[in-house]
C-alpha cells in the first residue's frame, strides 16, 4: 500500500526531532516509531550533512515521498579501535547491567554507510581484545544521532560522524581476549599492508589500529564467530540510552 503524504511528520517536527528538541514525549515516541518503519524518512535524515540541517529545512513532504531507495552495495566490514580507558568507562557505566552498544562516534566514520559493520577492538598489554560490533543502520551527525537515540546532543561523544546500529543486532560492550586471531586477520590494502604487525614477543602495538581498517570477508567471518559465541555466553542485552555524564571528547 502506498504511503500518503499525511503519514510523514511535518518538516518542523523532523527538524525538532533531529536536534533533540522534541519535548512532547508522546510526539517523540510517535516520530521515532515512524522513522524506524519509514525508509524514506531515515534516508532523508542520513543525508543531512554533519555541518547543518539546511537540506532538511528546504525539503518538503513531497520530497520525502519522492525519495527512492538507493541501490544496495556489498557491505563493508571495518575494524575500529577504542583505547582501553574508553572500554573501561563503558563497562563501568553499565553498573552491573550488561547493556547493548548501538552507537559509536568517530571522525573516521565518514567512510561508513548503512549496511556496513564496524567491529571495535582494543589492545591490553599487547593482546588484541574484542569489544563490540555495530551493524550500521544510520551514519549521521551529532544532532540527528541524539534525536534518534532520544537524548540531548551534549550527552553523546563529540565527533563529526555518529553511527547507530540496526534494531535487533545490538551487542553488549565486552572485553574478550581474541589474541589468537591477531595473526589471522587480513585487511584490504592496495599497498600490501594487509595484516597486523606482531612483535617477537607476540605483542600487537595499538598504534597500528588507530586508523580504521577494512577487513576482508574471511576475517569478518572470524570475528562473526567470536560475536556468536559471545551472544551465547552473555545472552541478549538490554537497551539503554547514553549516559548524560559521559565526558565529551573529539575522538575515540
Q: Which domains does the chain have, with CATH numbers?
A: 5-66 (no CATH), 77-234 (3.10.590)
Q: Residues 55-61: contacts with CB within 8 Å, 24+ apart?
A: 56/11, 56/14, 56/15, 56/18, 57/11, 57/15, 59/11, 60/11, 61/5, 61/8, 61/10, 61/11
The per-residue pLDDT for 40 is: 73
Quick one: which of 214, 165, 149 has its CA closest to 187?
A: 214
Quick one: which of 176, 171, 173 has its CA closest to 124?
A: 176
| Cell numbers standing for residue 153 | 546532543
Instruction: Check: CB of residue 133 under 8 Å from CB of residue 120.
Output: yes
Kindly report the three-state secondary structure assignment for every residue of 116-170. Answer: CEEEEEEEECCEEEEEEEEEEEEEECHHHHHHHHCCCHHHCCCCCEEEEECCCCC
Each of the 252 residues of the chain gets a pLDDT tens digit; together they read 344 445 787 766 766 666 555 555 456 557 766 766 676 776 665 554 443 444 444 333 334 434 444 445 689 999 999 999 999 988 877 555 556 789 999 999 999 999 999 999 999 999 999 999 999 999 999 999 999 998 999 999 899 999 999 998 988 899 999 999 999 999 998 888 899 999 999 999 999 998 999 999 999 999 999 999 887 776 554 443 444 444 444 445
The per-residue pLDDT for 7 is: 76
Task: Please tell me the distance from the alpha carbon of residue 25 to that of residue 37, in angstroms, as a whole number.
Answer: 19
* Model pTM score: 0.67
Task: Please tell me the distance from the alpha carbon of residue 187 to that of residue 210, in angstroms, as a whole number.
Answer: 14
Q: What angle do CA 29, 33, 34 make, to 5 degrees?
A: 120
Task: Please tell me the distance from the alpha carbon of residue 30 to that of residue 111, in angstroms, as a whole number.
Answer: 31
- Backbone phi and psi for residue 77, each to the nearest 5 degrees, phi listed first: -110, 120
Amino acid at each position: 500500500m502506498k504511503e500518503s503524504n499525511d503519514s510523514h511528520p511535518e518538516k518542523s517536527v523532523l527538524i525538532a526531532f533531529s536536534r533533540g528538541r522534541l519535548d512532547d514525549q508522546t510526539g517523540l515516541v510517535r516520530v521515532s516509531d515512524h522513522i524506524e518503519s519509514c525508509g524514506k524518512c531515515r534516508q532523508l535524515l542520513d543525508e543531512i550533512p554533519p555541518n547543518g540541517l539546511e537540506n532538511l529545512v528546504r525539503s518538503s513532504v513531497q520530497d520525502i515521498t519522492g525519495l527512492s531507495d538507493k541501490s544496495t552495495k556489498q557491505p563493508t566490514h571495518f575494524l575500529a579501535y577504542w583505547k582501553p580507558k574508553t572500554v573501561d568507562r563503558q563497562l563501568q557505566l553499565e553498573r552491573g547491567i550488561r547493556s547493548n552498544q548501538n552507537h559509536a562516534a568517530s571522525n573516521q566514520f565518514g567512510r561508513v554507510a548503512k549496511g556496513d559493520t564496524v567491529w571495535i577492538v582494543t589492545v591490553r598489554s599487547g593482546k588484541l581484545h574484542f569489544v563490540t560490533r555495530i551493524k550500521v543502520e544510520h551514519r549521521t551527525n551529532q544532532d540527528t544521532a541524539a534525536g534518534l537515540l532520544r537524548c540531548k546532543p551534549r550527552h553523546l561523544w563529540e565527533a563529526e560522524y555518529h553511527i547507530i546500529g540496526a534494531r535487533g543486532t545490538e551487542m553488549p560492550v565486552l572485553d574478550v581476549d581474541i589474541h589468537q586471531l591477531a595473526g589471522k586477520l587480513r585487511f584490504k590494502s592496495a599497498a600490501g599492508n594487509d595484516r597486523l604487525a606482531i612483535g617477537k614477543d607476540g605483542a600487537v602495538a595499538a598504534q597500528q589500529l588507530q586508523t580504521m581498517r577494512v577487513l576482508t570477508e574471511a576475517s569478518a567471518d572470524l570475528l562473526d564467530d567470536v560475536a556468536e559465541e559471545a551472544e551465547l555466553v552473555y545472552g541478549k542485552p538490554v537497551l539503554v540510552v547514553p549516559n548524560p555524564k559521559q565526558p565529551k571528547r573529539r575522538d575515540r
